[in-house]
Amino acid sequence: MSETTEQAAPKPKRPSRARRREEILAAATRVFGSKGYHQGSLGDVAAQVGITHAGVLHHFGSKDKLLWEVLEYRDRVDVQHLEGKHIPGGLELFRHLAVTARLNAERRGIVQAYAVLTGESVTDGHPASTWVAERFTVLRGEISQAVRDVAAERAVTLPEGEPERAAAAVIAVMDGLQLQWLLDPEAVDLAAATAFAIESILTATLGTTVRITEAAD
């Protein structure tokens, strides 16, 4: 065993480790998305990649750990289309949110996964609750900062706590619209309603008309 232990398995000819894990993560996203975490079983996930549930456990150890990696996987996919750019600030952030909503209307699965897991996470002792709570905290921070930036840009002074309230409202409206859209896609135009709501909140908060959609599109 001289140089044998050194091979880090970089070129996978076999659908090995990394690749299989990705397959499983994608399958788990679909399963947890369509059935929820508690109702979606390891067997369901395993079946989608053509192995047994024990095979899944071989890669992820436990169902909880699999969930955690699914959540991080979603983040990775989400950030991916930003192409390395960090999350924008100011008005650009809100345009980004509107664009995300438009993209989401074409990715029902991932939206459903997010909605189901977020809803489930408010149950006692749910393994995803800290992840979701932290996610909300981070988002509120980023969005309220963007509100402050836009306000400064337009020389508007905001009352204490207003940026935070606006940030919470923006996140809330996005999540809530996703729920309604998932249950009745015909009744709610996810992209339009989201853009409308964000503009409304910003306009009312800043006291001046804010547009985040491109003209004539």
Q: What track of x and - describes contact with a second copy for positions 97 through 136 (by CB under 8 A)?
A: ---------------x--xx-xxxxxxx----x--xx--x
Crossing angle of helices 63-80 and 53-60, in 10° steps, is: 70
| Calpha distance 39→61 (Å, rounded) | 19
Residue from 22, 54, 138, 180 binding DNA (CB under 7 A): 54
Q: Which is nearer to a second copy, 22 or 134 (CB)?
A: 134
Question: What are the angstrom distances between the C-alpha of 189 and each of 90, 96, 106, 130, 182?
Answer: 25, 17, 12, 31, 11
Applying CB under 7 A, does 44 fall inside the site for DNA? Answer: yes
> Does 177 help bind a second copy (rule: CB under 8 A)?
yes
Tell me the CB-side half-sphere exposure of residue 151, using CA atoms within 13 A: 21
Closer CB to a second copy, residue 82 or residue 138? 138
Q: Which is nearer to a second copy, 6 or 217 (CB)?
A: 217
Residue 64 in the binding site for DNA (CB under 7 A): yes
Residue with tokens 């989201």: 194
90, 149 contact by CB (below 8 A)? yes
The DSSP string of 115-150 is HHHHHHTTSTT-TTHHHHHHHHHHHHHHHHHHHHHH
Binding site for a second copy (CB under 8 A): 34-36, 38-39, 112, 115-116, 118-124, 129, 132-133, 136-137, 140, 165-166, 168-169, 171-177, 179-180, 182-184, 187-189, 192-193, 196-197, 199-201, 203-205
Binding site for DNA (CB under 7 A): 7, 12-17, 20, 40-44, 46, 50-55, 57-59, 61-64
